[in-house]
């Protein structure tokens, strides 16, 4: 069933067009890779889908309701509950420990402190960084921070995770460990993932792939917008 829907999404930054009419459906629990050359609009699309940016034209709907028209407060509520976001550089809060960072989305959603801490520790454990619980980001390596950020993005068990080059700053092996675990857990809890990447080997974790080119979905056969035989399901 389609959960997230974009229809003819257009977005420019001043005179620079970034998206020129993108249409896209994301169904429950599926993993969609968004690929394409630098500057083609991948990040802009992700931000529009996640309600971080407002499209200039077109529609974005979540479970049949337009979200592009919602107020900033309503959209950020959505991001706290139904959506999770993860960027290339984890963007942990520098003043908070790993456990506090991971617990934060739960606290914001109204979960009690003790319960939030327990969940945070469980999620740190799942990404193999339980021993970092009481360290601050400044005391961790980039790879360790990214594991914590991934745990934070999944702790609320969102219905969709928006991930923009989540392993882009990591070495091959570390990136792979983080991604394998992310995909495994997302599949377990039926979290859909929109995975922006420019690497074929990362896109290969997805069920299907959408190729963007100059702000449009490429329909020349480049995008493999159908689940392939032997796909990762």
The site for another protein (CB under 8 A) is made up of: 37, 180, 183-184, 199-201, 203-205, 209, 220-222, 224, 228-232
**Residue 38 binds which entry of ligand ATP, Mg ion, another protein, none, CB below 5-8 Å type-dependent:** ligand ATP
Gap between the Cα atoms of 192 and 175, Å rounded: 19
Site for Mg ion in 38-57 (CB under 5 A): 43
Measured from the CB of residue 231, what is the shortest distance to another protein in angstroms? Answer: 6
Which one, 46 or 78, has the nearer CB to ligand ATP? 46
Site for ligand ATP in 187-206 (CB under 6 A): 198
Instruction: Name every residue whose Cβ is closer than 8 Å to that of residue 203 and which is 6 or more positions away in sequence.
Output: 33, 35, 195, 197, 209
For 43, what's the count of Cα atoms within 13 Å in the CB-facing half-sphere? 10
Which one, 36 or 55, has the nearer CB to ligand ATP? 36
Look at the block and give the residue holding tokens 């993108």.
22
Q: Provide the β-strand partners of residue 16.
A: 13
Confirm or reject binding of residue 18 to ligand ATP (CB under 6 A): yes
Which one, 8 or 37, has the nearer CB to another protein? 37
For 6, what's the count of Cα atoms within 13 Å in the CB-facing half-sphere? 26
Site for ligand ATP in 44-63 (CB under 6 A): 44
Closest CA to 158 of 74, 65, 88, 83: 83
Gap between the Cα atoms of 121 and 110, Å rounded: 18
DSSP 1: -
Confirm or reject binding of residue 35 to ligand ATP (CB under 6 A): no
DSSP tally for the chain: helices H, then strands E: 7, 10
**Residue 209 binds which entry of Mg ion, another protein, ligand ATP, none, CB below 5-8 Å type-dependent:** another protein
**Residue 219 binds which entry of ligand ATP, Mg ion, another protein, none, CB below 5-8 Å type-dependent:** none
**Residue 169 binds which entry of Mg ion, ligand ATP, another protein, none, CB below 5-8 Å type-dependent:** none
């Amino acid at each position: 069933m389609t959960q997230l829907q974009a229809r003819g999404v257009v977005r420019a930054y001043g005179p620079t067009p970034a998206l020129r009419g993108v249409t896209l459906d994301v169904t429950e629990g599926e993993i969609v890779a968004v690929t394409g050359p630098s500057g083609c609009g991948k990040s802009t699309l992700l931000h529009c889908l996640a309600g971080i940016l407002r499209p200039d034209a077109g529609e974005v709907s979540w479970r049949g309701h337009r979200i592009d028209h919602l107020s900033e407060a309503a959209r950020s509520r959505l991001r706290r509950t139904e959506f999770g976001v993860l960027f290339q550089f984890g963007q942990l809060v520098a003043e908070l420990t790993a456990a506090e960072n991971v617990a934060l989305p739960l606290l914001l959603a109204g979960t009690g402190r003790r319960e939030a801490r327990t969940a945070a520790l469980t999620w740190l454990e799942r990404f193999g960084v339980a021993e970092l619980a009481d360290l601050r980001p400044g005391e961790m390596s980039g790879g360790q921070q990214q594991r914590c950020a991934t745990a934070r993005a999944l702790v609320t068990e969102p219905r969709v995770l928006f991930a923009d080059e989540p392993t882009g700053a990591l070495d091959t092996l570390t990136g792979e460990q983080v991604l394998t675990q992310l995909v495994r857990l997302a599949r377990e809890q039926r979290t859909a993932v929109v995975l922006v990447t420019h690497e074929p080997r990362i896109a290969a974790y997805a069920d299907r792939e959408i190729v963007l080119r100059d702000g449009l979905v490429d329909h020349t056969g480049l995008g493999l917008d159908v689940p392939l035989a032997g796909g990762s399901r």
